[in-house]
Every structure is written in structure tokens, then in C-alpha cells.
Amino acid sequence: MRPALSYPTRRRLGRVAFYLLLAAILIYTVFPFYWAVVTSLKTGSALFAPDLWPGEPSLANYVAVFREQPFARNIANSAIVSLTVTLLSLFLGVTAAFALGRMRFRGRRPTMMVVLGVSMFPQIALLSGLYELIRWLGLYNSLWALILSYMIFTLPFTVWILTAFMRELPRELEEAAIVDGASPWQTLTRVMLPLMAPAMAAAGLLAFIAAWNEFLFALTFTLTNDQRTVPVAIALISGSTAFELPWGNIMAASVVVTLPLIVLVLIFQRRIVAGLTAGAVKG
Amino acid sequence: MTRRTSPLARRRARAAWLFLAPVLAVLAVVAAWPLASTVGLSLTDARLDSADAPRFVGLANYARYGPDPASWDAELGGYFLYDESTDAMLLYREDQDAFFDWETGEPIVGEVDRTAVFQWHGILTDPVWWRSVWNTTLFTLVSVSLEVVLGLIIALTLHAHMPGRGLVRAAILIPWAIPTVVSAQMWGWMLHDQIGVVNELLLGLGLIGERLAWTANDDTAIWAVIAVDVWKTTPFMALLLLAALQMLPDEIFEAGRIDGVHPLKMFWHVTLPLIRPALMVAVIFRLLDALRVFDLFYLLTSNSDATLAMSVYARREMIEFQDLGRGSAAATLVFLVIAGFIAAYMALGRMDTEPER
């Protein structure tokens, strides 16, 4: 059968279809956030008109979000919790990864299994146990409750990712260090750590994003507005009545907490992808 | 076979455990202990709003035929029951399996109609729980399938050589990086019944006749949740698959092209089998993640009895209804479902414990 269209035409049509598909993918992934930005710049009745561009862009919603609730405090809380969790996970994770990635000992494989298993724990299964533990420790409604509980999901994948990277470092380096009489601790801190910087960045970013976005524990273990993190604060923004949600404020708050993440993602996308694939794909 | 170990090797093994100790200690405190305590609580009648010491109730929180657990009276040491058929107040003592007159304390003479005062209790007999199981299952199956198909399409598209690929790859990471709470709010706004842009668009295209209350309506709410999850998680799937695609040698595709193999055939017989291991890992991760879903259901739906996920049901029992025992039982069941999946997967030998590339 002779093709109805000549080869160049088909090729050109193929190109057009390809770019249409690409455009569809881009619109699908980016439009909701674009819409949030547009909404956050609209006020009054403009909010209820489906214009793709704000007629009279205004920052009033952003001002309102910070004035009507302790949103700056919420951001600070999120930053404190996420940074502390990230640093703790990296420190603990890199020591464990050194043992799991570079040393031979009995019980290594079972330990890896345990770490992997824990990373799949449903958070809900720990909720009542953690709740009791946190109240017993007197940490209820404090940021420490969140820092403690977030280790449960940041630590396993930090260990996992760092172990994956640690195994790829050349063996000779370590042997040279041992021959020179370095202790394991010196080998880790002086020889391995500098080489692990890219992996630490990848794992750290993932831990930071996971902690910044967490909702269930933050919702359950904090009670007052000044201890809440950003996700809970945004979820609980309410209007005068349940039917009159201040959508402009909600979208402004959403944009404020998402922009730093998007900047991080745009700058570090290679690292993040490397971390994600080291954590999951072992094809 | 025992191998003789050198002193150096032994010293290094000791060092290894020393290096592991902090992580294992932290995991014991934040994972093992709370999990054990959740399972323990699920066997008691612990309540958040009561200072009484929790009482061991066996599997009553899961399923039991007997007196209503809420009718337990610690002072009387039994269950305080009202028998409608005889209009009598009864005290049921479990240890003696006998009924007493609650005022006089005398044993009841004659048979008590147990069917009048006993019922099935526990979450396994609660239709709301089973509805949440169904919702979670439907959500998991539909959203993971859609994510695989869309993820493959996006990965294959991005795999093509083209200008600005890095930028596109960064753009599709955006939904993944956005906090779930923000995604839920953004989509809640877009799906708003009166002023949402989705209704506006569908009306304009003539696909719907009137504005729909996507999230407020119990029948459409789960589909809204699925749509948001697919939007949020497909990029993750696409990136993992893209990474797998990029590890395949170009020569295979080169050869296929020269031999004039149809691209679809090529995909089905060559590409798909080659990326299958990566696909399987991504799917199992997503399955486990979807089964424990909480945020999207909690934030997007009205949280009516018909629109709960398993995790939402468990938290509602625990925190909103203050029934720590019953909520813990539901949480334990979620854990068992997921542990069952992991065990099955590991037994199939697919889980590689070596994180190597």
C-alpha cells in the first residue's frame, strides 16, 4: 500500500503532533499552579471571573495572609522543623550508609531490609503510638514533636540513597586510608565525606521537601496556631462561614510556600532526579 | 561454612555496628516502639477523653459479638445494659458470663434474651470501614494505573532528543514538589462548583450541562481525589521511567529504526520488557504509597461516611471520636494490609535489597 502522504509531510505532521503532545503535558502540569498565582493576584469580584490574566493585579491577598494569622510564624516553624530534620537525617544517615555501603559484616542485608521496610510504614500505624510517646515526653504541641516524628520517614530513605551512592565510590580510596592507619571515623570524615557532597545534597533536598510538605503528624501533634507548620495553617484558613472561603488568601499562602520549593527544584533538578532514582530504580 | 576472620575484619565489623547504632536507636524509638504501642492500644478500650487506665478487651475493637463496649462500667465491674423486652436494667459480668439486676446485684433468674442486648461490635463489622477499604482500593488501582500509562507517555516524549529538554523536565517536577495540602487547595479551587475553572471549561466545551459539585458530591469526590493524585504523582513515575529509558543503549533503537520496525511494536516488544524491572519497583512503591493515602481524602472530600480512606477512618476514630483503641485497631489493619503486600512482594523475590545501579 502506498502511503497517502509523502514522507516529508508525514514527518512534519509527526513533529507537529509531538509538539502538541508536549504542549499538552506542559499545560497539564503547570496550569494549576499558574492558576493559583493568577487567583492570588485578583481581589473582589475579579476572583469569580475566569480571566486567565488578572485585570488589576494586586498584592492585597498576600498582605492579608500575613496580617490575619501568624503566617510568618508558621513559615518559621516549617523552616526550623525541616532544616533540623534534614541535618539530623543527613548526619545519622551518612554514618549508617558508611557502614552499610562500605563494610562487610553479618547482619548487613537484614539491616537494609529493616530500613527499607520502615520506609514503607504507613504513617497512620504510628499515629496513636507516637501520640502517646509524645505526650509522655511532654512534647505535645511543640516543634520537637514534629522533629522527632519526621525522622520516621526522612531517615530510612536518606540511609537508602546515601548507601546507594556510597557503594559507587572507588574502593582504592578507602584502602589507601586504611593502609595509612586511618580509623573508620577518620576514613568517613576525611576521605568519604567530601566525595559524598552531591549525594548529601540530593538526599538532603528530598528530606527537606518531605518534611516541609508533611501534613498528618503536623495536624495531629500541634494544637495552637503559633506552633503550626505551613501545610496545617493553609489547610485551616477559613472564612467567616464555611461557604465563604477566602480563596484569594489561600492561593496567596499557597504560592508563598510553594515558590521556594519550585526554585529549589529548578536549580537542583538533576540532583533530585539522581536521588529519586538511586532510591527507587535498581534496574 | 565458617570463615576465619582476621582481627582487622572483626574490628571493622565492630565499627560497622557502632556506626549503625544511632540510626537503629532512632528507628527503635520513632518506629518500632510506636508501632508496638499502636498494636497494643488496639487491644484495649483506651480513650483520649478518659483518664482511666485502659482495659484489655482482646479483639473487641476488631470484631466481637457481645455487650456494647461503651456500656462498660468500671465501678460495677461489668456492662450496664438495658433490656428492652423486659424493660429491665441489667449488669452483665463477663468473667461469670451471667446477668445481674443492677440495683439489687442479684442474679437474674431465668434466661435473658441475649440477642436483645448483644450485638456485633468492632470495625470489621462496621460498613463505614468497609466503605473506606473499597474507596482506598478503588483509588489505588485507578490512580496507579493512570499514573503508569501517563508516566510512560511523558517519559517516552521526554526521551526524544529535543531542545529545552532540561526545562521541560524541571517543569514536570513542579506538581511533585508542591505540598499535597497546596495541591488539594489549588484543585479544590479549580473544581469549585460555582466559580471553578474546570466547570467553566467543561461547560464551554459542552461536555456537561450544568455545574457539578465535584468534591462535595459523594459520588464524584473520589474521582476528584484520583484526578489530583494522578496530577501530583505522574511526574514522579515519569522521571523514574525516564531514568530507566536513559540507561538503555541507543543502539537497540538505532537497529530497530534501520530494520523499519514499527515504533509501537518496538515499544511493546523491546522497550517495555527492558524497563520492566524499573517499572515494577516504581509501581510497588506507588501502590504502597497509595494504600496509606490520607492528605488528599482528608482535604478534598467532605469527610462524610462515604468518602473516607482507611487512614482517614483510623484518624477519625482516634482523634475526632477520641476512641484510641478502635482507631488503633483500624491503623493496625492498614499496617497489616501494607505489610502483607511487602511480604508477598519480597517472597516473590522481586525486592532487591542492594541499592545498586
Chain A residue with minimum CA distance to B167: A266
Q: What is the dihedral of CA B324, B32, A216, A90, to 10 degrees?
A: 160
Q: Are residues A44 and A74 in the same domain?
A: no
CB contact under 8 A, B355 and A164: yes
Which of residues 192 through 251 in chain A touch B, CB cutoff 8 A? 209, 212-213, 215-216, 220, 230-232, 234-235, 247, 250-251
Instruction: Give the DSSP letter of residue B113.
Output: -
The confidence score (pLDDT) of residue A240 equals: 54
With b for 16 or more beta-carbon neighbours within 10 A and e for fewer, the B85-106 pattern comes to eeebebbbeeeeeebbebeeee
Q: Is the dihedral of CA A138, A144, A149, A155 positive or negative?
A: negative
Does a structural domain hold residue A271? yes
**B104 or B241, which is more confident:** B241
Provide the shortest C-alpha distance from residue B26 to chain A (in Å): 8
Mean pLDDT of A207-235: 93
CB contact under 8 A, B16 and A99: yes
The confidence score (pLDDT) of residue A153 equals: 93
**A212 or A69, which is more confident:** A212
Chain B residue with minimum CA distance to A242: B302
Q: Which of B174, B299, B315 sits opposite A30 (nearest CB)?
A: B174
Chain A residue with minimum CA distance to B292: A122
Does a structural domain hold residue A80? yes
Residue written as grid cell 562500605:
A102
C-alpha distances in angstroms, B202 versus A46, B58, B218? 20, 53, 20
Q: Spell out which residues of chain A touch residue B240, defining contact as CB-CB under 8 Å.
A: 276-277, 280-281
The confidence score (pLDDT) of residue B356 equals: 43
**A241 or B62, which is more confident:** B62
CB contact under 8 A, B41 and A231: no
Mean pLDDT of chain A: 86
User: What pLDDT digit, counting tens, does each position of B315-325 carry?
Assistant: 999 999 999 99
Mean pLDDT of A140-158: 94
CATH of the domain at A81: 1.10.3720.10
- Residue A119 one-letter amino acid: S
Say whether pLDDT at B3 is over 60.
no
The confidence score (pLDDT) of residue B354 equals: 46
Q: Which of B36, B235, B310 sits opposite A29 (nearest CB)?
A: B235
CB contact under 8 A, B354 and A269: no
Of B16-25, B161-170, B277-286, B305-314, which gets the smallest average pLDDT? B161-170
CATH architecture, domain B125-347: Orthogonal Bundle (1.10)
**B166 or A188, which is more confident:** A188
**A73 or A271, which is more confident:** A73
User: What pLDDT digit, counting tens, does each position of B182-233 carry?
Assistant: 999 999 889 888 778 888 888 888 888 888 888 888 888 999 999 999 999 9
Instruction: Give the DSSP letter of residue B304.
Output: -
Strand (E) or helix (H) holding B205 = none
**pLDDT class for A3, splitting at 50, 70, 90?**
low
CB contact under 8 A, A104 and B9: yes
Of A2-11, A62-71, B259-268, which gets the smallest average pLDDT? A2-11
CB contact under 8 A, B179 and A231: yes
CB-based contacts of A158: which residues, under 8 Å, 6+ apart? A89, A90, A92, A93, A203, A204, A206, A207
Rounded Cα–Cα distance for residues B30 and A150 (Å): 9
Provide the shortest C-alpha distance from residue B111 to chain A (in Å): 41
Q: Spell out which residues of chain B touch residue A273, defining contact as CB-CB under 8 Å.
A: 169, 173, 239, 243
The confidence score (pLDDT) of residue B4 equals: 61
Q: Is the dihedral of CA A86, A87, A90, A95 positive or negative?
A: negative
Rounded Cα–Cα distance for residues B252 and B138 (Å): 38
Q: Spell out which residues of chain A touch residue B282, defining contact as CB-CB under 8 Å.
A: 280-281
Mean pLDDT of B28-52: 91
Does a structural domain hold residue A242? yes
Chain A residue with minimum CA distance to B232: A29
Mean pLDDT of B344-349: 74
Q: What is the dihedral of CA A257, B200, A60, B176, to 10 degrees?
A: 10
The confidence score (pLDDT) of residue A30 equals: 87
Say whether pLDDT at B352 is over 60.
no
**A218 or B8, which is more confident:** A218
Mean pLDDT of B293-302: 92
Give the other-Cβ count within 10 Å of B142's Cβ.
18
Chain A residue with minimum CA distance to B330: A125
- Count CB pairs under 8 A between chains A and B: 303
Provide the shortest C-alpha distance from residue B271 to chain A (in Å): 13
Q: Does the CB of A188 have a partner CB in chain B at under 8 Å?
A: yes
**pLDDT class for A239, splitting at 50, 70, 90?**
low
Provide the shortest C-alpha distance from residue A25 to chain B (in Å): 7
With b for 16 or more beta-carbon neighbours within 10 A and e for fewer, the A59-69 pattern comes to ebbbebbbeeb
Q: Which of A30, A133, A184 sits opposite B15 (nearest CB)?
A: A184
What share of chain B in percent tops pLDDT 70? 96
Contact A211, A154 (CB under 8 A): yes
CB contact under 8 A, A265 and B177: yes
**B17 or A175, which is more confident:** B17
Bridge partners of residue B56, in order along the sequence: B44
Q: Are residues A102 and A233 in the same domain?
A: yes
Grid cell in block for residue B331: 491503623
Interface probe for B, chosen from A47, A128, A237 (most Cβ of B below 10 Å), is A128
User: What pLDDT digit, counting tens, does each position of A103-126 carry?
Assistant: 888 888 888 888 888 888 899 999
Could you give the ipTM of this predicted complex?
0.87
Q: Spell out which residues of chain A touch residue B249, defining contact as CB-CB under 8 Å.
A: none
CB contact under 8 A, A126 and B169: no
The confidence score (pLDDT) of residue B357 equals: 41
Q: Spell out which residues of chain B touch residue A183, defining contact as CB-CB under 8 Å.
A: 15
**A168 or A283, which is more confident:** A168
CB contact under 8 A, B338 and A167: no
CB contact under 8 A, B335 and A122: yes
**B128 or A6, which is more confident:** B128
Does a structural domain hold residue A123? yes
The confidence score (pLDDT) of residue B119 equals: 84
Chain A residue with minimum CA distance to B182: A254
Chain A residue with minimum CA distance to B168: A26
CB contact under 8 A, A160 and B351: no
Q: Which of B12, B170, B310 sits opposite A103 (nearest CB)?
A: B12
Phi-psi region of B87 (alpha: psi -120 to 50; beta: other; left: phi over 0): left
Helical spans, DSSP H, in chain B: 7-27, 33-41, 114-117, 127-159, 165-177, 180-190, 197-204, 218-246, 250-258, 263-266, 272-291, 295-300, 310-315, 324-347
Q: Per the structure, how many domains does chain A have?
A: 2
Contact B154, B238 (CB under 8 A): yes
Provide the shortest C-alpha distance from residue A23 to chain B (in Å): 10
Residue written as grid cell 533530585:
A272
Does a structural domain hold residue A192? yes
**B63 or A51, which is more confident:** B63
CB-based contacts of A198: which residues, under 8 Å, 6+ apart? A165, A271, A274
Q: Which of B154, B170, B194 sits opposite A265 (nearest CB)?
A: B170
Among A5-9, A167-171, B43-47, the range with the most confident prediction by mean pLDDT is B43-47
Mean pLDDT of A71-99: 95
CB contact under 8 A, A231 and B9: no
Where in the sequence is the domain holding A41, given as residue range(s)? 7-48
Q: Where are the domains of chain B?
A: 65-121, 125-347
Q: Are residues A38 and A143 in the same domain?
A: no
Q: Which of B19, B292, B294 sits opposite A96 (nearest CB)?
A: B19
Bridge partners of residue B79, in order along the sequence: B72, B92
The confidence score (pLDDT) of residue A221 equals: 95
